Structure 1
Amino acid sequence: MKKIATILLLFIGTTLFAQEIKIDALEFSGLKRTKESLLRRLIKTKEQTIYDVSLVNADVERLKRLPGIASATYAIENRANKNILIYNVVENFTIIPGLRIATANDGSFSYRVSVFEFNLFGNNQLLGGFYEKNIFNSYGAFWEHPFLFSDKLGIGINYQDLTTQEPVFYDQGDKNYRFNSKNAEAKLLFSFNFKNEAELGAAFVQESYLFEGENPLPDTPLSLEANKFIYKGVYRFVDLDIDYQYFDGVVSEFTAQHIQFLNGDAPAETFLNSFSSFRNDFTYYKKIQDKGNWASRLRLAAAFGNDDSPFAPFTLDNQLNIRGVGTTVDRGTASIVLNTEYRHTLYEKGWFVVQGNAFIDAGSWRNPGEEFSQLFDGSSTKLYPGVGFRFIHKKIFNAVFRLDYGVGIGNDATNGIVFGIGQYF
């Protein structure tokens, strides 16, 4: 019996060894702008190694996550008794204009126009900027090279000059301020492996608030000015399968910041305190049959050190968390937000896709000076179901034009249309 077992094991081992495929060469097809040298650095399968299907599949998913690539597959060909592993790539168009339209806090028309190149020089660098008219003028410029130093280490820098009208919510009522922030940031970008990424950066900020309007509230500042440093760390776990408009998997992103005020005028020292903030976004995607996609995002956020300041860091806003609620309608020092939606492909032909979606956005906030229990007592809870459409270009990176209409449930609830580019989450 032992002899028979030994013969069987030898037979199985010999058969498996005989079935091993050696990769003699690697090739890429479909490349037009993306540099082959970059892709060879990023993939883990190498020439003169044994074919590993799990490793090759991971390479394909890695390639599909790059902004410059819309889709990727692979095949093995035998030529002159040599096995050639071929990655077949469909590239994205990556020079992307952007437009965001909204209503400003004074009821006027506001807009933001931008243009970004996501595959600069063919090695997936990002370069771009924006101009925004939101009562006042704002602009920003961004550059990132995720693979500047190696396939695991890159860098990013940006500068933003933002001026907006921001409501601040006091116990006596809310008042509008002209808010200006000049922000210069630099960060290191880490890619530890296929699923784990991180960022570590710092920013110097000049910040000011100027009271707008008449009849200021008693015991509230007319102006604030201060300089601050922001130290920021981000950890991102990505286990995601992407097939054009369909996502399947999970993404978890944790962001920690410490905001250190350096100096300021006397009112700033009273109202603008140094503090730390933490936020985690957990997003789950599930492909449903041939045309459906369920997506859910749970956002948990909290700040410590500025519990009583009306200049709280987390805002309730159409574009950030609750569709239909309005533009910057509240501020808080902690929040819990759940967004869930079902996306269904209504029409698809060639590069063009129309999706319909039904969603529920729900959240609660901890107002300045309140206990964390406010998150659960219902006093600040918002519930907004709604429907929308997505118009998608499959060959242009992030070319998802979305239109949603959210309907508030409860007393004093609002309704509203939200327009933007890119999926909401």
Structure 2
Amino acid sequence: MKKTISILILILAIGFNGYAQEKTISKINIEGLKKTKESFLRRLIKVKEGSTYDSIKIATDVDRLNRIAGIANATSKLEENAPSEYTLTYTIVENFTIIPGVRLSTANNDDDVAFRLSVFEFNLFGRNQIIGGFYARDVFDSFGLFWEAPFLFSNKFGFGINYQDNITFEPIFINDDLDNGNDYRFQNKTFQAFLSYEFNFHNRAELGFLIGDQSYDLQEDQIDIPELPNQLEATNFSITGEYEYNDLDIFYQYTSGYRNQSNIQYVFNSGGEGFLEDAIVLTNDLEYFKRVGKRGNWANRLRLSFTSNDDSPFAPFSLDNQVNIRGVGNKVDRGTASIVINTEYRHTLYEKDWFVIQSNTFIDTGTWRTPGNDFSQLFDGDAIRFFPGVGIRFIHKRIFNAVIRLDYGFGIGNDSTNGLVFGIGQFF
């Protein structure tokens, strides 16, 4: 009996001693801040003063900070300041976050230059809020205004709104016949509001609504085609939803891990003369990134798109240089479903302090279901576009998304095109 009691006392003593030796985070310091508010970061991180040391939570907080637009890089350091009491220090290198943007391309009328100029602040009030707008011209003038506060109400709950008035020159084809179509002035006015919620470090969702007015007006120099209207107007109301799983590890120009973004939109159309009906619109982007050695980065994206309104020539998915396949041209065709694969190898050629030059070798390929066709067209060899290419990146490591991108895509196959694509930010 005495032996049993002695063993129990020994076990309790060992357990008590182990408990007493637990590391406690008695103080948290955040160093290196200039614009970002310390109170905002303290609300965002999960490790709190007085909590028990947890290496996984600290690593997760570092990853969370590295995803914020206002932060170029975050690291952590743990120092003992008393027996079993530790000071945790997060060291921050901030980004410059007022970012201009430029896009250039050949306009859809083939006579003019299309461009888009934008400026965005990605760390408004030092609280990771986004505000900005754009002016664009693709034969006609367009503009848009945006505000988003992902952590407006709490460290999980946010809000955003935007207004856009896009007017573009749109070629609309019949049955994928590029010689049988008309050119339209397309105006799309939309107001969108949404709520966002972060369930945890990896999962977030958005739910909102969109109100819009659309109009298509036939250009004066076009010939009437019985299958296409001369004018089309519709008012739509959409319920929108997005779900994101994010497991990316970001270190300056290098990214590893994967992310999946799913979008669903149910569109209620009023008007449109049967060409613009109620529809479900689905898109899904699956991205995978892998570090290759010290200087390489392999990046991949699979994009799937579908709309239930499969007969209208006024389809929602465009084949475009800036959206899916580099070198193909500016809005050269439309589809009611698509499969697009982008894969590229990025390699750092030169890096010194804040400046990086990166090469890029890519393959963009995709297939489209054109209006009036069934899903088998997606797997018809005639519907596939294949564009390998090369490019270069000029990167500022301490300005958010400051990547000047130049790519040249080489089309392979009948009637293929080649083309130079310029933009700000990585292609994906």
Q: Could you tell me which of 412, 417, 421 is aligned with 2:420?
A: 417
| Cα 1:220–1:75 shift into 2, 3 Å | same
Q: Could you tell me which of 40, 45, 49 is aligned with 1:47?
A: 49
| Cα 1:201–1:8 shift into 2, 3 Å | same
Paired positions, count: 419
Structure 2 letter corresponding to 1:218: P
Mapping for residues 246-261 of structure 1, pairs under 5 Å: 246-261=254-269
**Contact 2:300/2:344 (CA < 8 Å) preserved in 1?**
yes
Tell me the SS of whatever aligns to 1:39. Answer: helix
Q: Could you tell me which of 116, 128, 145 is aligned with 2:132?
A: 128
1:89 is aligned to 2:92 = yes
Once the two structures are TM-superposed, the CA of residue 80 in structure 1 deviates from its matched residue by: 5.8
Tell me the SS of whatever aligns to 1:271. Answer: coil
Question: What is the match of residue 205 of structure 2?
Answer: 198
Mapping for residues 314-353 of structure 1, pairs under 5 Å: 314-353=317-356
Mapping for residues 38-117 of structure 1, pairs under 5 Å: 38-79=40-81, 82-107=85-110, 108-117=112-121
d(CA) in 1 for partners of 2:8, 2:64: 41
Question: What is the match of residue 295 of structure 2?
Answer: 291
Mapping for residues 349-388 of structure 1, pairs under 5 Å: 349-388=352-391
d(CA) in 2 for partners of 1:269, 1:149: 43
Tell me the SS of whatever aligns to 1:379. Answer: helix
d(CA) in 1 for partners of 2:390, 2:16: 59
**Contact 2:29/2:90 (CA < 8 Å) preserved in 1?**
yes
Once the two structures are TM-superposed, the CA of residue 121 in structure 1 deviates from its matched residue by: 0.4
Structure 2 letter corresponding to 1:236: E
Task: Give TM-score, length-normalised by structure 1.
Answer: 0.95
d(CA) in 2 for partners of 1:12, 1:105: 77
Mapping for residues 131-150 of structure 1, pairs under 5 Å: 131-150=135-154
| Cα 1:12–1:366 shift into 2, 3 Å | farther
Q: Could you tell me which of 119, 125, 135 is aligned with 2:123?
A: 119
1:214 is aligned to 2:227 = no
Once the two structures are TM-superposed, the CA of residue 76 in structure 1 deviates from its matched residue by: 1.5
**Contact 2:186/2:214 (CA < 8 Å) preserved in 1?**
yes
Once the two structures are TM-superposed, the CA of residue 7 in structure 1 deviates from its matched residue by: 11
Once the two structures are TM-superposed, the CA of residue 218 in structure 1 deviates from its matched residue by: 2.3
| Cα 1:16–1:345 shift into 2, 3 Å | farther
| Cα 1:223–1:57 shift into 2, 3 Å | same
Tell me the SS of whatever aligns to 2:35. Answer: coil
Task: Give TM-score, length-normalised by structure 2.
Answer: 0.94
Structure 1 letter corresponding to 2:339: I
| Cα 1:244–1:15 shift into 2, 3 Å | farther
Question: What is the match of residue 151 of structure 1?
Answer: 155
Once the two structures are TM-superposed, the CA of residue 11 in structure 1 deviates from its matched residue by: 9.5
Question: What is the match of residue 241 of structure 2?
Answer: 233
Once the two structures are TM-superposed, the CA of residue 9 in structure 1 deviates from its matched residue by: 8.0
Question: What is the match of residue 167 of structure 1?
Answer: 171
d(CA) in 2 for partners of 1:19, 1:103: 67
Moved over 6 A (4+): 5-12
Q: Provide, for residues 91-124 of structure 1, a one-character-per-residue CA deviation record: whole Å limited to 9, x for no partner.
A: 0000001111111101211111110000000101
d(CA) in 1 for partners of 2:222, 2:374: 32
Tell me the SS of whatever aligns to 1:133. Answer: strand
1:399 is aligned to 2:407 = no
User: For structure 1, which segment, 207-216 or 249-258, has the greater mean C-alpha deviation from structure 2 after superposition?
Assistant: 207-216
Question: What is the match of residue 181 of structure 1?
Answer: 188
Once the two structures are TM-superposed, the CA of residue 332 in structure 1 deviates from its matched residue by: 0.7
| Cα 1:151–1:380 shift into 2, 3 Å | same
d(CA) in 2 for partners of 1:399, 1:202: 31
Tell me the SS of whatever aligns to 1:184. Answer: strand
Question: What is the match of residue 307 of structure 2?
Answer: 303
d(CA) in 2 for partners of 1:343, 1:29: 32
Q: Provide, for residues 279-298 of structure 1, a one-character-per-residue CA deviation record: whole Å limited to 9, x for no partner.
A: 11000000111000000000
Tell me the SS of whatever aligns to 2:422. Answer: strand
d(CA) in 1 for partners of 2:105, 2:12: 70
Tell me the SS of whatever aligns to 2:381. Answer: coil
1:282 is aligned to 2:290 = no
d(CA) in 2 for partners of 1:6, 1:416: 78
Structure 2 letter corresponding to 1:186: A
Q: Provide, for residues 155-181 of structure 1, a one-character-per-residue CA deviation record: whole Å limited to 9, x for no partner.
A: 000000110001111146121100001
**Contact 2:405/2:425 (CA < 8 Å) preserved in 1?**
yes
d(CA) in 1 for partners of 2:10, 2:379: 63
d(CA) in 1 for partners of 2:77, 2:167: 52
Q: Pairwise CA RMSD of aligned residues? A: 1.9
d(CA) in 1 for partners of 2:92, 2:18: 31
